[in-house]
Structure 1
Amino acid sequence: MNTQTIINALHAVREQKPLVVNLTNYVVMNNTANALLAIGASPIMAHSREEMAEMMSFAGALVINIGTLDSVWVPRMVFAVEQANIHNKTVVLDPVGCGASRLRTETSRQIAKAAKKLIIRGNASEIISLAGEKGQNKGVDALDSTEAAVGAARFLIREYQCNVVISGEVDFVVTDEGQIQLHNGHAMMPHVTGMGCTLSALTGAFAAIGEETGLAAAAILGVAGEMAAEQSKGPGSLQCNLLDILYQLDEEMIIQRLKLA
């Protein structure tokens, strides 16, 4: 995928305004909904089993984020994935804190195994733990480098027939055809809660229009975050500026800023 393909994907999201169903955590609902709106997609935070079958019949993609996991949420998530499978919709799994507890690790693997069309988006420690290796994490924060997780990502691709996005200082997008590195973003971004969750939500928007590698979403958020940070005094203003940049982002900004390797 080249720069023009990423630009075309952004245009498609803005033109089609795909509905993205988010079964996500309480901490980031507002952040991720606003980011989806800013990019041009249509978010809905749907958690009820009673409406999930109907929702997935016309939604573009499903984002599952396990950040505030409990025994009530797990069966809802599994049922949502089953409905996505029935309607041939892509599932984006964000295995927040995978490796930090047995519940998170087992639930992440259960969802990954259940999904027929899957993109996994996590930090390095989450990806390593999901693959069954021992990652270094502190709660939901990664202590491993993204490059260290590439081998684990390749294992997940073989195990679940999925694509994997490893986010961090350098983002890696890994598919069965190879890998791409993204050198955008800013050191301030990890100081805003839910930045990775925002990337997962945007990944759902692009998957809904057929971009299922995860690269377009990672590229767009990386460029937007980098530009927003340059205008921000700290994490508080970064949150607001990021939404503005996502809304304003155009072809020229992407061409000038994007750093693919």
Structure 2
Amino acid sequence: MTTLDLSAPHRRLRERVPLVQCITNTVVQQFSANVLLAAGASPAMLDHEADAAQFARLADGILVNLGTATNHQLLAAEAATTAASGARTPWVLDPVSYGGVDFRSQHIARLARSGPACIRGNASEIAALAGQGAGGRGIESRDEVDAVLDAAGVLARRSGSVVAVSGPTDAIVAVDPDDAQSLRVARVGGGSPLMPLVVGTGCSLGALTAAYLGASADDPFAAVVAAHAHFAAAGEDAGRDSAGPGSFAVAFVDALHAVTADRIAAVDVTVPAGAGGDR
């Protein structure tokens, strides 16, 4: 195994306080905003097509999550991502429920071809987007992370994005910039079994990933891994003394704020030899 130093992305996040434009699920907007504030970023929930493109040129990172997509959000996502491409602003695509219904899936597939810095979803969403699965049941995954690593690699090569697969142990996959024939893979353990019982944890992880990318766009792989490690550390810490999902949600936001570079370094992050390495 090799190691990955995540202290630099965390330091940049706290120093730069990246501005993150969130075009996201209406169910989780407040929770996602609080997650960003607690972790050290600045949220902006601008999701109307009239000003989405203009604001995308000001933002440091962008999240597109069409979990409860409205016509305004669909148009805003198209406008913001087009502007982001021109401004070289990193953006994250969360392919919520891809493969479940056709209209949503068509929009997500088009966005996946539009240059996201990261595509982050559950195992079933990633497999389906790579053309190797049918998708999940609503927002729930039918697949395990290890079973879709090959699909994640296919999607990473096709899209040029860092692909993050969420599960009990997250997997982050990207094409090696020094060797296009190789993939970089990192696994991030930790978190808490209570996390899937709180609406918004997955969606807000996409927002935090956009924040880390906005602060460390020069190394997107390390930025995405650091975001997942920050989340895992907070989940693990919050879960220790929480009585259930309700108290966990409050403790989790507090824990995100308390996470330090040393705490992130203690997270179970592994990078197999030959699949990445020290920078």
TM-score (ref. length: structure 2):
0.88
Identity %: 32
Q: Which residue does the alignment assign to 1:207? A: 213
Q: Which residue does the alignment assign to 1:176? A: 175
Amino acid in structure 1 at the alignment position of 2:45: M
List gaps (5 residues or longer) in structure 1: none
Contact 1:135–1:144 at 8 Å: present in 2 too? Answer: no
Give how far 1:234 is off: 0.6
Given candidates 217, 220, 231, the residue that maps to 2:227 is 217
Give how far 1:134 is off: 2.0
Q: Which residue does the alignment assign to 2:180? A: none
For residues 31 and 202 of structure 1, the distance between their equivalents in structure 2, rounded to whole angstroms, comes to: 12
Are positions 1:187 and 2:193 aligned together?
Answer: yes
Contact 1:19–1:59 at 8 Å: present in 2 too? Answer: yes
For residues 72 and 265 of structure 2, the distance between their equivalents in structure 1, rounded to whole angstroms, comes to: 45
Q: Which residue does the alignment assign to 2:18? A: 18
Tell me how large the CA RMSD over aligned residues is: 1.6
Are positions 1:154 and 2:148 aligned together?
Answer: no
The 5 A counterparts of 1:67-82 are 67-82=67-82
List gaps (5 residues or longer) in structure 2: 177-183, 272-279
The 5 A counterparts of 1:106-185 are 106-115=106-115, 117-135=116-134, 137-177=136-176, 178-185=184-191
Given candidates 245, 251, 257, the residue that maps to 2:261 is 251
For residues 11 and 94 of structure 1, the distance between their equivalents in structure 2, rounded to whole angstroms, comes to: 25
Cα 1:101–1:224 shift into 2, 3 Å: same
For residues 135 and 110 of structure 2, the distance between their equivalents in structure 1, rounded to whole angstroms, comes to: 22
Contact 1:223–1:258 at 8 Å: present in 2 too? Answer: no
Contact 2:92–2:119 at 8 Å: present in 1 too? Answer: yes
Give CA-to-partner distance per residue, 1:72-98, whole Å, 9 cap, x none.
Answer: 432221111101111111110001111
Give how far 1:136 is off: 5.3
Amino acid in structure 2 at the alignment position of 1:217: A
Give how far 1:246 is off: 0.8
For residues 261 and 226 of structure 2, the distance between their equivalents in structure 1, rounded to whole angstroms, comes to: 13
Q: Select the structure with the greater relative contact order (CA < 8 A; seq sep ≥ 6).
A: 2
For residues 30 and 200 of structure 1, the distance between their equivalents in structure 2, rounded to whole angstroms, comes to: 14
Amino acid in structure 2 at the alignment position of 1:170: T
Cα 1:2–1:209 shift into 2, 3 Å: farther
Contact 2:49–2:73 at 8 Å: present in 1 too? Answer: no
User: Which structure shows the bigger proportion of residues in helix conformation?
Assistant: 1
For residues 257 and 200 of structure 1, the distance between their equivalents in structure 2, rounded to whole angstroms, comes to: 19
For residues 12 and 265 of structure 2, the distance between their equivalents in structure 1, rounded to whole angstroms, comes to: 17
Amino acid in structure 1 at the alignment position of 2:78: V
Give CA-to-partner distance per residue, 1:34-57, whole Å, 9 cap, x none.
Answer: 000001100100012222232122
For residues 189 and 91 of structure 2, the distance between their equivalents in structure 1, rounded to whole angstroms, comes to: 26
TM-score (ref. length: structure 1):
0.94
Cα 1:257–1:81 shift into 2, 3 Å: closer
How many residue pairs align between the two structures?
259
Given candidates 186, 203, 213, the residue that maps to 1:197 is 203
Give how far 1:175 is off: 0.6
Amino acid in structure 2 at the alignment position of 1:207: L
- Bigger mean CA offset, 220-229 vs 128-137: 128-137
Contact 2:50–2:76 at 8 Å: present in 1 too? Answer: no
For residues 245 and 252 of structure 1, the distance between their equivalents in structure 2, rounded to whole angstroms, comes to: 14
SS at match of 1:141: coil
Cα 1:136–1:66 shift into 2, 3 Å: closer
Q: Which residue does the alignment assign to 2:48? A: 48
